Amino acid sequence: MKNRVYKNNLGFGLGHERIKRRLGRVSRAPDPRAPAIAFMASSFALSAPSIPSSSSGSIVTRNRRATSTRRHRHRRGVETRASTSPDDGKKKNMTLEERIAAGEFTKKSSTGPYRAVADALRGLVPEDAGPMGRGVSLALARLSRRWRAEAMSKMPVASGDIREIAGQPVFVPLYKLFLAYGEMFVLAIGPKKFVVVSDNAVAKEMLLTQAKSFSKGLLSEILDFVMGQGLIPANGEVWKIRRKVIVPSLHKKYVTSMVDMFGDCGLKGMSQLARSEAANETVEMENFYSRYALDIIGKAVFNYEFDSLTTDDPVIKAVYTVLREAEYRSVTFIPYWKVPPLRWLVPRQRQCQEALAVVNDTLDELISRCKKVVEEEDEEFVEEYMNTDDPSILHFLIASGDDVTSKQLRDDLMTLLIAGHETTAAVLTWTTFLLAKHPEVKAKVFEEVDRVVGDRNPTVADMRELVYTTRVINESMRLYPQPPVLIRRALEPVTLGGYNIDAGTDFFISVWNLHRNPRIWDEPDAFKPERFPIDQRMPDEYTEDYAYLPFGGGQRKCVGDQFAIFESIVSLAMLMRRFDFELDESKHPDGECGMTTGATIHTTNGLHVKLKRRDGKGGDEMSGTYTKGAMLSNLEDVDVVRGSIDAPSASSDEDFDDRYAEDVDESTSEKFERAKRIVEEETTAGSNSEEVGMSR
C-alpha cells in the first residue's frame, strides 16, 4: 500500500503515522481470533453509512465535480492531525509560525466514528489471516480512504482562541494562516466563522462575476453609526441610487480643479515642514499626512476649511474621535455599544456620541448654507457642472436637484470624508517609509520630479509624465493596501473555488494576502516599483487579474480612485522636490516601523523622519510664508488610537466580549448589571485620556 502524502502549499509532506507503523511490521503466526475479527469487520463494512458531505454546522462543502487548472498549481488542503498543545509558558516563547506548525489553530477533519472503528478493526486483522482476512482488510481500507477523501473535500479550518495571537495587526495572522492552510480556509473565532480568501480567481468571482450574490455584511453593521446609508456600507437599491447621483460629481472638470487645489494645500504643507526643518525638529509624518489629507478632503467634499495643519479645534477632534471609533469597532467582536446605557456610561462611547453630535451639527450647517447659496445663484445645471467659487461635491449634489433627505446627504458626505481621507494619508505614510529605506528608488523620484515639475505646482498634464513616481505609489499600495481586508457576506448559496457555501457566510477577502501571494508575485515582500513597467498601463484589477486590488474591484470599486491617485502623486512630488529625508534612528533603531490595524494600516508609534531641504529647491513656501499658527510639533497627534485595534488584546472592551460571548441575547437590564465592572475599568482608563489628541 502506498503512503499517501498530502502537501500544504509550502510543500511540507504530512504522512500517515499508521502507515509508517505498518511498514515496520514483521510476519507472525496466524491469529486464532481472525475468523471473529473478519465477521465483525464484514458486518461493519456492510452496515456503515457513508460520511455526509457536510457535517452539522458546516458552512462549506467541496463541489467535487468542479475543476480548475489553478487548483492544480496551488494545493489548498492540508491533512489535519492531532497535536499536543504546548503549555502557556511555552506558547509565549513560540513564534506564530511555530504555533501554527504545532497545530494550535488546526481543527481536525471530522469523519465521524466509523473511520476510527474501521481503522481499529483493520489494525487487528493479521497480515497472514488468509483470503478472508485480506478481503476484509481491503474492504476496510477502501471505506477509510473514501471517508478520508470526503473529509478532505471540506475547506481547511483554523480555529481556537484568536486572542492568543494578540499584539499583531489582524492581517498578519491571516497571512501566516494562509501560508499554512491555503488560499481558502475557514477562520473560526469563537462562535463566528469567516471564509478567508487569498485567491485572485475567487476574489474576481466575488467582486465581479457573482457580485450580486454578496453584500457588505459585517462592514455595513460596523459603519452604520457613522456612515448610515452612505455609498460604502449601503446595500441593494440604496447603493444603486446613491452611486448614480455621486459618480457624476467626480467628472473630469472637477478632478482638474482638485489637482489645482492639491497644489495649494501642498504649498501650505511644505511650508509647515520647512518650519520644522529649520527648527531641526523630527517630523512625525503620519500625523502630518492625516492633517494634510483632512484639509484636502474638507475642501473637496463640502468646501470646509479645517486648517488642521496649523490649528486644533473641536470639529477636528470630533472627526478623529469618530474615525478611531469606527476602526475600533471593526475589530471588536462583541458589539457592546448596542446596549443603550453603555453608550453613555463607557467613556469612549460617550466621547463618540458627543463627537458624532459635533460632526453632524457641522454637516447640517454646511448643507443648509450650501442650499441657500444654490437657491440664490443663477447658474444652469449642465453636464460637468461646477461652481467656480465652490467646486465641492456637496454643491454639485444640491445643485443637481437630488431629492434626498438631509440625513442621507449627511451619510454620503461622512462616507466621502472618511474614505477620501484615511486611505490617502495611509498611502503617503507608507510610501514615505519605503522611500526612506530605499535611497536608490528615492534618487529616481528626485530626478523625475526635478525634470517634469520643478518648483511649480503639478498639473493634470504632469500626471501622465510622472510615471515612475506613480509606479512607486502603485508598489507602495501593493505592499501596504488600504484597506488590507475587504468584507463581504453571501446573500444566497454560492459556489467558489469548487466549494459550496451557504447563504449568510461572512468573508474576508485578504487584499494583503493577494498582494503578497508567492504564487502570483516574484519576491512578494520586496519593494520593486519596476515590477510595473512605466511604458505599460497603470496596474489595476484588470491588468493583474484581480491579484491587485488597491481600490477594490467590480461594481463596488472605489469611485474616487482617480482622485486619490492624483492627490498622492501631487503630494509626493511636492515633498520630493523640496526635501530629502531619512528615518529618525532614535525612534526607529531597527529601521522598521510597526503596524497596527484600523480601517487602514497605521503605524504603531508614528513615522518619525529627519528632513533636509534640497539646495535651491522650492519657492517662498520654504521660508514658511504660507502658514501661520502653531508648528507641527505643537499640535496634538490626531492619529493616536486609544484602546488596541490590533488582533484582539486584553483591553477592557475585550474583557466585556469574553463575558458576553455566551449570552449575547440577555436582556438589557441583565447586561447592564454585568457591565458595571467594565464601566468602572473604562472610567479609570479614560480619566487620563479625555482628549482625542494624545502624544505617542
Query: Do 582 and 465 reside in the same domain of the chain?
Result: yes
Q: Note whether residue 680 is domain-resident.
A: yes
CATH of the domain at 281: 1.10.630.10
> Cα separation of 637 and 608, whole Å?
13
Among residues 98, 124, 154, the one where a domain terminates is 154
Intra-chain end-to-end CA distance of the chain, in Å: 63
> Cα separation of 97 and 94, whole Å?
8
* Whole-prediction pTM: 0.76
Among residues 154, 180, 207, the one where a domain terminates is 154
> Cα separation of 682 and 670, whole Å?
19
652 pLDDT band, cuts 50/70/90, is: very low
Q: Note whether residue 676 is domain-resident.
A: yes
Q: Note whether residue 51 is domain-resident.
A: no
Among residues 154, 184, 208, the one where a domain terminates is 154
Task: Show the cell assigned to 429.
Answer: 505614510
Position 328 scores a pLDDT of: 81
Among the residue ranges 273-287, 317-331, 364-378, the one predicted with the least confidence is 317-331
Give pLDDT tens digits for 129-165: 677 777 777 777 777 666 655 554 588 888 765 555 5
Cα→Cα distances 26→15, 22, 128, 427, 490, Å: 21, 9, 11, 65, 54
Position 443 scores a pLDDT of: 98
DSSP for residue 596: E
Query: Do 494 and 400 reside in the same domain of the chain?
Result: yes
Query: Do 255 and 375 reside in the same domain of the chain?
Result: yes
CB 389, CB 366: distance < 8 Å? no
Query: Do 494 and 600 reside in the same domain of the chain?
Result: yes
Q: Evaluate if residue 547 carries a pLDDT over 70.
A: yes
Would you tell me the crossing angle of helices 112-124 and 130-152 to the nearest 10 degrees? 150
Query: Do 571 and 439 reside in the same domain of the chain?
Result: yes
Query: Do 102 and 228 reside in the same domain of the chain?
Result: no
> Cα separation of 391 and 378, whole Å?
15
> Cα separation of 264 and 269, whole Å?
9
Query: Do 131 and 235 reside in the same domain of the chain?
Result: no
Query: Do 495 and 627 reside in the same domain of the chain?
Result: yes
Q: Note whether residue 489 is domain-resident.
A: yes
Q: Note whether residue 13 is domain-resident.
A: no
Position 131 scores a pLDDT of: 75
Query: Do 409 and 529 reside in the same domain of the chain?
Result: yes
Q: Which residues make beta-bridge pairs with 61?
A: 500
Q: Note whether residue 499 is domain-resident.
A: yes
Residue 50, amino acid:
S
Task: Show the cell assigned to 636.
Answer: 496634538
128 pLDDT band, cuts 50/70/90, is: low
Nearest to 315 by CA among 414, 423, 420, 425: 414
> Cα separation of 160 and 174, whole Å?
14
Structural domain containing residue 95: 29-42+63-154
Distance of CA 446 to the CA centre of its chain: 31
Query: Do 427 and 529 reside in the same domain of the chain?
Result: yes
Position 332 scores a pLDDT of: 72
Q: How many domains does the chain have?
A: 2
89 pLDDT band, cuts 50/70/90, is: low
Query: Do 612 and 485 reside in the same domain of the chain?
Result: yes
Q: Note whether residue 633 is domain-resident.
A: yes
Give pLDDT tens digits for 3-59: 333 333 333 333 333 333 333 333 334 444 444 434 333 333 333 433 333 333 466
Q: Note whether residue 516 is domain-resident.
A: yes
Query: Do 249 and 336 reside in the same domain of the chain?
Result: yes
Task: Show the cell assigned to 565.
Answer: 491617485
